[in-house]
Amino acid sequence: MDLEQHLIDLSDAAGPSGFEGPVREILKDAWQGLADEIETDVVGNLVALRRGGGSEPRRRAMVTAHMDEIGLMVDRIDGAFLRVISLWGVDRRTLLNQPVIVHGERPLPGLIGSRPPHVLPQSERGKFQAIPDLVVDTGLPERELRKLVPIGSPVSIDQHAIRLSSGLVTGKALDNRASTAALTAILEGLSQRPTEWDVEVTATVQEENNHTGIITSAWRTRPDLALVIDTTWAVGVGVSEDRGYKMGDGPLLAIGPNAHPKLFELVLEAAERHEIPLGVEPMTGRSGTDGWFTQISREGIPTAILSIPIRSMHTPVEIVALKDIERAARLAVEVVAALDGGTLGRLALDEEAS
């Protein structure tokens, strides 16, 4: 697999929360031949199962990343323009003058505009306008818009990924297409490695919205442990080293209440054993990732969270280092390939049980 091209394809695809179909199709094509079973569940999660070689009933590990992105939704038609609302997480500072695609009866190119400064009251000049004050202009008259754009149609930013220097890629939705690209690399790596446990690799939906995908997937799968891959802040403009992490220095492993302490140690030891660069990311409470809902599913699931640093998070020009994606995938492969009959005993918090 050409990881860079795969990441670009994933970034370019439109997949706002609840409308992840195009992303799912790219992943489904890429995963063919890499799993024993591939299915799409009732909420839209894409699930790939690789059966282990251990005796039945086998333990099961879940490796997961969300595939949705932030976006907009058509709220109403206002003459020849569309009014939109946020599909969670959209920063209004990034929207003005952005080219977009309106996903109605057919994809329609458009542009986000607003009132020109000449007609704004002095008190509103220099301020970022609220999303309901913005309009999407497709160039079509109201009559055509009403035929082609049902209320509730998703709207995605029309931003194509670009190769930068030094192994960097910029594009929209790298939160979390960087991690879904890592899922594909994990499946490729596992195709060359026998495992004792069953391994379920899942691209989940609606993390940016309400975590619907992971809530249902973790409940159904009932894994014995889980590895969640997401993104975190990279050092950049306005993000100093005391808040972010350097791109190219490897992924980060969460430590804190949302991370199982013994599984944290297991992953950290795997990174050290295989000389994979890995930082530690303190998370003092709910991580804001699918890891939280995995951890508390059913009677509880030992969960670790790996994060890939990206710059300019939740903007159309996020930036990621390919080597960080590769290292996150390699580490995940090493972790699940080493799972055996004694793993759960080693993860027990009750010292006598271990």
The model's pLDDT over 288-313, given as tens digits with 9 standing for 90+, comes to: 899 999 999 999 999 999 999 999 99
Based on the residue annotation, tell me whether 207 is a catalytic residue of this protein.
yes
Going by pLDDT thresholds of 50, 70 and 90, the confidence category of residue 353 is very low
Q: What is the pLDDT of residue 352?
A: 53
Window from 27-31, 128-132, 327-331 with minimum mean pLDDT: 128-132
Nearest to 6 by CA among 126, 252, 248, 186: 186
Name the domain boundary from 153, 188, 203: 153
120 and 24 inside one domain: no
Catalytic choice (20, 207, 208, 281): 207
199 and 169 inside one domain: yes
Assess contact for 229 and 174: CB atoms under 8 A.
no
86 and 169 inside one domain: no
Q: What is the pLDDT of residue 291?
A: 94
195 and 264 inside one domain: yes
What CATH number is attached to the domain comprising 94?
Answer: 2.40.30.40
279 and 200 inside one domain: yes
124 and 186 inside one domain: no
Q: What is the pLDDT of residue 346?
A: 95
219 and 93 inside one domain: no
Enclosing domain of residue 315: 3-69+161-347
Q: What is the pLDDT of residue 113?
A: 85
Nearest to 190 by CA among 324, 33, 346: 33
Assess contact for 305 and 259: CB atoms under 8 A.
yes
Q: Measured between alpha carbons, how far is residue 51 from residues 40, 61, 65, 76, 203 in Å?
A: 18, 10, 20, 48, 18
204 and 245 inside one domain: yes
Buried-exposed string 198-223: b where 16+ CB fall within 10 A, e elsewhere: bbbbbbbbbbbbebbbbbbbbebbeb
Nearest to 6 by CA among 203, 161, 191, 202: 161
217 and 264 inside one domain: yes
The one-letter amino acid at 199:
V
Give me the mean pLDDT over the 199-220 stretch: 96
Query: Is 75 part of any domain?
Result: no
What pTM was computed for the model? 0.94
Give me the mean pLDDT over the 169-198 stretch: 97
Going by pLDDT thresholds of 50, 70 and 90, the confidence category of residue 243 is confident
Give me the mean pLDDT over the 264-290 stretch: 94
Domain count, the chain: 2
Name the domain boundary from 136, 153, 170: 153
